[in-house]
Amino acid sequence: MTVLHILAYASVAVFIVAVAVRAIRLATTPVHLRWELYPVAHEKDKVSYGGSYFEEKDWWTKSQKKSLFGELKVMVPEILLLKGVWEHNKPLWLWSFPMHFGLYLVIGFAALVLVTAFTGTQDGLGAVLEQIGLAVGLVGYVLGTVGALGLFGYRLFSRKTRGFTPPSAYLNILFLLALFATGLYMFAGVDHPSGALAAFGRDVFTLGAGAAPAGAVAAHLGVALLFMLYLPFTHMTHFFTKYFTYHSVRWNDEPNHPGSKLEAAIQRQLAYPVSWSAKHLRADGKKNWADIATDTEVE
């Protein structure tokens, strides 16, 4: 077993465990302070004019009608096209979009490589998928390289972003740039990169102990596996944490019915002790939120 094989197993294991732990922590956090802004994407009847079910008489006695399609109409453009960035900062979008979309294409390339690793590429569907994968991968690496270079420069030199861009953000972009650049180097220096990648992927999934790729393929694989190892410990985990931001904060309009799980969660939170130093709360670490909320002498 080579160093690349060991790195592959370690990267996949750490990635899965770290993402799962973070997802569980987010899913079990206390009830968030909801935005209460409308329209909410999953509103089925009143979203067209920005309304909500709160307009109805005795709304709390009626079941909510939700639309998954309504959520998808918001989520898909945001995920694939970075719609929010386009609307609020077009110069940033100019570089952020190709970097993100390039990454999506590279992930698609990796998925197609794994498929062909087990279907073969001699003829039929496997051969077609291989050619599609090569085209997708090449475009992805080009877009990603251009986007990462532009985004690094924009964040470094733009007054709008330089002041609040932490060093870790530059490191993340440089890591992505290394991923895309080594991919381009692999395509430029290897006649059949998908074949070598597929052989390695098949070897890893079948717990084989074959020889690892060398040269440009090994360099790209090494960077890709190190990136997978690094990613779960950065803010780049917004690729899944954004789900909680939207569904637990921005779109959460669940009514607080008596006896519901939401009511029980809120009751637990009201029992949390408060130790804020703000004098107007008169918090001493012993009073809980319920005490303070019902204290008539609190300023």
Domain with CATH 1.20.950.20 in the chain: 3-30+82-250
pLDDT at residue 192, rounded to an integer = 85
Angle (deg, nearest 10), helices 124-157 and 193-205: 100
35-44, 58-67, 181-190: range with highest mean pLDDT = 181-190
Q: Is 80 exceeded by the pLDDT of residue 123? A: no
H-assigned helices in 190-214: 193-205
- CA–CA gap between residue 226 and residue 274 (Å, rounded): 42
**Residues 136-149: pLDDT tens digits?**
999 999 999 999 99
Q: Is 60 exceeded by the pLDDT of residue 120? A: yes
Q: How large is the average pLDDT for residues 58-83?
A: 90
Quickly state the pLDDT bin for 101 (edges 50, 70, 90). very high
Residue type (1 letter), 45: D
Q: How large is the average pLDDT for residues 107-111?
A: 97
Q: What is the DSSP letter of 271?
A: T
**Residues 214-256: pLDDT tens digits?**
899 999 999 999 999 999 999 999 999 999 999 888 898 888 8
Residue 136 or residue 46, greater confidence: 136
CATH architecture designation of domain 3-30+82-250 = Up-down Bundle (1.20)
Q: How large is the average pLDDT for residues 161-175?
A: 93
Q: What is the mean pLDDT of the chain?
A: 91
Q: How large is the average pLDDT for residues 156-183?
A: 94
Q: Is 90 exceeded by the pLDDT of residue 135? A: yes
- CA–CA gap between residue 72 and residue 113 (Å, rounded): 28
pLDDT at residue 299, rounded to an integer = 59
Interacting residues of 28 by C-beta distance below 8 A, sequence separation 6+: none
